[in-house]
Amino acid sequence: MPIKSIFFDMDNTLIDFFKFKEVSSKAAIVAMKKSGLKIDSKKAFRILWNLYFEHGFENREILQKFLEKVSGDQNNYKILAAGIMAYRKARMNAICTYPKVKCVLRQLAKKYLLVLVTDAPAVKAWIRLTSVGMQNKFSSVFTLTETGKRKSSGVPFTNAMKTLKLKPNEVLVVGDSMSHDIIPAKRLGMKTCLATYGRLKNQKSDITPDYRIRKITDVTKILM
Ligand SMILES: [Mg+2]
């Protein structure tokens, strides 16, 4: 069965999400230090980064958790506000796609139905897409908001296929996560492609993706 559609993951597959989080987080730390927080910058970043892994990268109160952890006081509002403002300011400029993403999407759109399936909530997903100028690149965008279920459950993929009247073997799923992209998609009978540049480590699994790519431009080699 030929591939008709490509389901792309967003963060760490199309958007360099970790870079964006790293730059924004470092800016927040600099600002909090300027406002009186006493901590070594590198140590602070390590702690904050671990908190992201512990509580999720979409956690809205991560700086509060960070302040609680490093100073025992999550209610130091002067420091907190400095961190939040610096984070927001840096975020605008830090968000970017991996090189050549838009070019690859333009090429693929001539032949395939391009779909975005992300675990980010709808507003965040659309803000990120719009920030990098990708808001018109997909025929459909499916976010956490529609089903309330994460991709690891397989539900967002099933929902997208049902909506678009696609069969599993007509879809290629491209993503950087074994647990959220490759494993659920493979279980559903979809074709899978692991984006190994996404920087997620320790992704051991018995399941093997159909393809692996080291840069986004390699997708075209698989398909064309
Ligand atoms: Mg991802």
Encode pLDDT of 1-57 as tens digits: 799 999 999 999 999 999 999 999 999 999 999 999 999 999 999 999 999 999 988
- Rounded distance from Cα 11 to ligand 1 centre (Å): 4
Residue 224 is predicted with a pLDDT of 67
**Distance (Å, whole) CA 152 – CA 145:** 15
Q: Using the predicted structure, report yes or no on whether residue 164 has a pLDDT greater than 90.
A: yes
Residue 57 is predicted with a pLDDT of 86
**Residues shown for the chain:** 224
Q: Using the predicted structure, report yes or no on whether residue 75 has a pLDDT greater than 90.
A: no
Q: Which residues are within 5 Å of ligand 1 (an ion), measured at CB?
A: 9, 11-12, 176
Average pLDDT, whole number, for the chain?
94
- State the average pLDDT over residues 73-81: 89
Looking at residue 55, its amino acid is H
- Rounded distance from Cα 210 to ligand 1 centre (Å): 17
Residue 200 is predicted with a pLDDT of 67
List Cα–Cα distances, 77 to 58, 65, 66, 68, 216, in angstroms. Answer: 21, 13, 13, 12, 42
- Cβ atoms within 10 A of the Cβ of 216, count? 22
Residue 202 is predicted with a pLDDT of 63
- Rounded distance from Cα 42 to ligand 1 centre (Å): 25
- Rounded distance from Cα 17 to ligand 1 centre (Å): 8
38 contacts: CB under 8 Å, gap ≥ 6: none
- State the average pLDDT over residues 127-156: 96
Reading the block at residue 56, the tokens are 């999720």
**Distance (Å, whole) CA 145 – CA 150:** 10
